Amino acid sequence: MKNANNNMQLDGIDKKILRALMKDARTPILEIARGVGISGAAIHQRLRKLEKSGLISGSKFMINPKVLGYTTMAYIGIYLDKAMSNPEAVKQLKQIPEVLECHYTTGNWSIFIKVLCKDNEHLMQVLNKDIQSISGISRTETFISLNQQIDRQIEI
Amino acid sequence: MKNANNNMQLDGIDKKILRALMKDARTPILEIARGVGISGAAIHQRLRKLEKSGLISGSKFMINPKVLGYTTMAYIGIYLDKAMSNPEAVKQLKQIPEVLECHYTTGNWSIFIKVLCKDNEHLMQVLNKDIQSISGISRTETFISLNQQIDRQIEI
DNA sequence: CCTGAAACCCCGTGATG
DNA sequence: CATCACGGGGTTTCAGG
């Protein structure tokens, strides 16, 4: 994981390039070039520089999981036994495909995860069968997301 | 927001197309075509079908906020006064660029958000100046993500 | 840090089986 | 649901200022 690089300085053209591609990763480079008034080759050079800096970490197609029947998203705070090492717990959580995010956090919990399930029953199975069966996990607290109202990236 | 469409059925080729594009949205269609052994035109047709179904919701360049100095991510549970309508609170939260996600959740909190800040001081300012100053927000509970260990999309 | 040109490759569609 | 063919355009790299 790359760390902060405070030498990173984006000018207006870099920002326009990034904003276009963050909105639609398949925007043609030449279209961006026409938009900002420089050549396609120059955009390429800038993109290479941005990649080398680590700012760009790739591009992804976004899919809407609801269409596949995944309608239940939940956050789960996990308490670990003192004996259980956090990295070992994470290793086990990685094996559960429904776990999409996993954080070490300050506060009550040792670990905080986001899961995506088809429905409440599926969520219950993931909790009872997959998560609770990891030895070292003593207790969990679940928050179901009834509705996600904001979902965006940082502003450039 | 699209809802579940249980008529959606993906065959192996659809899955290969989606997996390639979910990993790298700029993968050339013809490269995928060669990979799965059908023509580019056929991939195009399938992508149109997938778009029409709502499964594909676009493509995004992912950037690594750490490189811009955004090193503090936190989740915040928000308690709202009974008088405050949730939609109004969300509207106000949308004005805060550091707020990247916002959910209605079951459990203790009315609203649950994810924020991304440059450092702890910046987080404190967002909490005290931007969030707490929204009338109707009575109390918050903050969990700082010390480290994100898993970050992925659903498996296709 | 930029440009223009060249070579190569891809896109998206329409006709068709 | 697939294919081929095609015109238009995009990508990428190079030498050069």
Q: Which residues in chain B (68-97) have CB-CB distances under 8 A to chain A?
A: 68-71, 73, 75, 90, 93-94, 97
Q: What is the pLDDT along chain A (156 residues), one digit of tens a residue?
A: 444 455 678 999 999 999 999 999 999 999 999 999 999 999 999 999 999 999 999 999 999 999 999 999 999 999 999 878 899 999 999 999 999 999 999 999 999 999 999 999 999 999 999 999 999 999 999 999 999 999 999 999
Among B131, B20, B116, CA closest to B71: B116
pLDDT given for residue A90 in this prediction: 97
Answer whether any strand D atom is within 7 A of the Cβ of B30: no
Minimal CA separation from B137 to chain A, in Å: 17
Q: What pTM was computed for the model?
A: 0.94
- Chain A residues whose CB is inside 8 A of the B68 CB are 4, 8, 10, 55, 154, 156
Angle between helix axes A40-53 and A12-23 (nearest 10 degrees) is: 80
* Residue ranges covered by each domain of chain A: 2-53, 65-145
Minimal CA separation from A17 to chain B, in Å: 10
DSSP string, A140-151: EEEEEEEEEEEE
Q: Among all residues of chain A, which has the CA nearest to that of B115?
A: A154
CA-CA distance, A123 to A75, in Å (whole number)? 11
8 Å CB contact between B93 and B134: yes
Answer whether any strand C atom is within 7 A of the Cβ of A108: no
CB contact under 8 A, B146 and A106: yes
pLDDT given for residue A24 in this prediction: 98
8 Å CB contact between B65 and A154: yes
- Could you tell me which CATH number the domain at A65-145 has? 3.30.70.920
Nearest nucleotide over every DNA/RNA strand to the B9 CA, judged by C1': D1
D1 C1' – B46 CA distance, angstroms? 9
pLDDT given for residue A83 in this prediction: 78
Sort A43 into a burial class: Cβ within 10 Å, 0-12 / 13-18 / 19+.
Answer: buried
Sort B22 into a burial class: Cβ within 10 Å, 0-12 / 13-18 / 19+.
Answer: buried
- Could you tell me which CATH number the domain at A2-53 has? 1.10.10.10
pLDDT given for residue A115 in this prediction: 98
8 Å CB contact between A86 and A111: yes
Question: Is the CB of A52 inside 8 Å of chain B's CB atoms?
Answer: no
Q: Which residues in chain A (118-147) have CB-CB distances under 8 A to chain B?
A: 141-147
> For chain B, which ranges sit under pLDDT 70?
1-7
What separation in angstroms does the CA of B93 have from each of A14, A73, B76, B119?
A: 28, 21, 12, 20
